[in-house]
Structure 1
Amino acid sequence: MRGEISSGRHAKRHPLDWYVDEHWCAEQLAQVLGGFKLERDEGLAVWDPCCGMGNTLQAAFYCGLEVRGSDLVDNFAWANFDGQNYGDLQRVKWWEADFLETTEPLDPCSIVFNPPYSYVKGIAEAFARHALALSSRRVAILMPSKWLASQARYQLFSDHPPQAVLHLCQRPSMPPGDMIARMGKRAFSGGMTDYCWIIWDVKRPTAPGQTRTIWLPPLHRNSEILLLEEVLSCAAR
């Protein structure tokens, strides 16, 4: 069995769409964002409102930011946030919450997450719109690339054109969180689905037709990653 089974039959899917992204997905995002430079400069936390084990938050934590995680169920892997090596664990807060019923974040923040996308119809778009309403600065969501092309998403991207779409040129595996231990080494191998990060800057809305597209290199060529701010400044010249 391949690690990537998030696109399989509904009978095999996790009932709450708990699929665990590989650490490097958020690490590449952090590189593109200059180590979350805007968040560091503005004193913002990074919040993942459907954080699962917390893999997405680790990149921001390693960059020295305050991180916030919430979810319907507590599966948070505290052991992966090693305070001895990376700083004070008081920078990490987790709480149980339904994101769509949350009216405000704990702190001013950017919102970065891999949302549920099928167990309730339209839930991924609902998460994206709610994040745009609550974020102090940026929203970044990790989605299958095919999610970009849909009549259903046309209105979302018309109302809120993304600042950038970052295509992962290496396919990640996204195994169900409750099967990782059973699958062993197979859990994070054999990715079969293309993914991308979709980014908005709520302080600097992007005009229609101005969304930038960036291809993130395979991991063995990681040094070739471009900084988003540099791409945007070049486009403005």
Structure 2
Amino acid sequence: MINRAVMNSRLPSSDDLEFFPTPPWATRALCAFLDKRRLVRGTCWEPCCGQGHMVHALREYFEFVAGSDVFDYGKGFPVVDALDPATKVPAVQWVITNPAFTMAEQIALKVLDAPTFPSLALLVRSNWAEGETRFHSVFAKRRPTWILQFSERVPMIEAAWDPEASTATAYAWFVWARGLPFEQTVFDWLPPGQEKKHSRLRDLDLAIPGEAARRRAAKAEAASEPRSGDLFEERDNG
């Protein structure tokens, strides 16, 4: 499956990466959609798995799920740079991932052009559909089978999953299903209620509740502290 010998050559630090863990319910919403159409089968690779939030849900639907990431987040997943030319897309039925926004186009091109011909699902911002360069490089040649827009928001914050977080960002699944024509894209909605329907108590093992509120409070406190220049200014005026 995944070649563990291919290690990350860029050696990034966690500060360099866009790591926004996926709420497990958002992955189950996709899998339920695919399962209803009898498209969930066999094996799956999650090449940007972080701490395994998506793998946690995918393993409920696929016979085997391999997770890897360009950075070691301490959860035992192989460190593999999916964009390294030496890394080959494995012979799996599906590649399903939430990539860094800056990597999504490269991931899509690599998987869709792979000789192993897996199906692909990317969780990205809804505005990923925009852009002249992306249209010509991806969509003009390989139209997604579905664009599945979440009707409710999928809250994600950097480096942690907090079920209590909120977001102003809209997300959608872009899906290319092998065996179905890439000639026409069906835009569909994942209706409201996905979080309630697909959340599980066991998901809380991966959660850090209250983290978003703590960060907001710390940011507000930092913003309220006088700047050093203000202190000197007050002394001059005193």
Question: Would you say the 8 A contact 2:156–2:166 is kept in 1?
Answer: no
Aligned match for 1:150, one of 122, 128, 131: 131
- Residue matched to 1:205: 181
Aligned match for 1:192, one of 168, 171, 188: 168
- Residue matched to 2:232: none
- Residue matched to 1:82: none
Deviation of 1:159 (Å):
1.1
Greater relative contact order (Cα 8 A, min sep 6): structure 1 or 2? Answer: 1
- Residue matched to 2:190: 216
Question: Would you say the 8 A contact 2:47–2:82 is kept in 1?
Answer: yes
Deviation of 1:14 (Å):
4.7
- Residue matched to 1:124: 104
- Residue matched to 1:175: 157
Provide the alpha-carbon RMSD of the alignment: 2.5
1:49 to 2:47 alignment: yes
> How many residues matched?
181
Percent identity, aligned pairs only?
A: 27
CA distance in 1 between partners of 2:113 and 2:153 (Å): 30
**Using a 3 Å threshold, how does the CA distance of structure 1 residues 67 and 220 change in structure 2: closer, same or farther?**
closer
What aligned pairs does 1:31-110 form with structure 2 within 5 A after superposition?
31-34=32-35, 37-40=38-41, 44-75=42-73, 77=75, 94-101=77-84, 102-110=86-94
Question: Would you say the 8 A contact 1:51–1:76 is kept in 2?
Answer: no
CA distance in 2 between partners of 1:126 and 1:72 (Å): 14
Question: Would you say the 8 A contact 1:22–1:188 is kept in 2?
Answer: no
Note the residue ranges of structure 2 that are not aligned, 5 or more in a row: 1-13, 198-238
- Residue matched to 2:200: none
- Runs of 4+ in structure 1 over 4 Å off: 220-223
Question: Would you say the 8 A contact 2:153–2:171 is kept in 1?
Answer: yes
Deviation of 1:51 (Å):
0.7
Secondary structure, aligned partner of 2:49: coil
Aligned match for 1:111, one of 90, 95, 103: 95
CA distance in 1 between partners of 2:186 and 2:35 (Å): 17
Deviation of 1:20 (Å):
1.0
Matched letter for residue 73 of structure 1: F
Secondary structure, aligned partner of 2:39: helix
TM-score (norm 2): 0.68
Deviates more, 1:58-67 or 1:161-170: 58-67
Q: Which has the higher helix share?
A: 1
TM-score (norm 1): 0.68
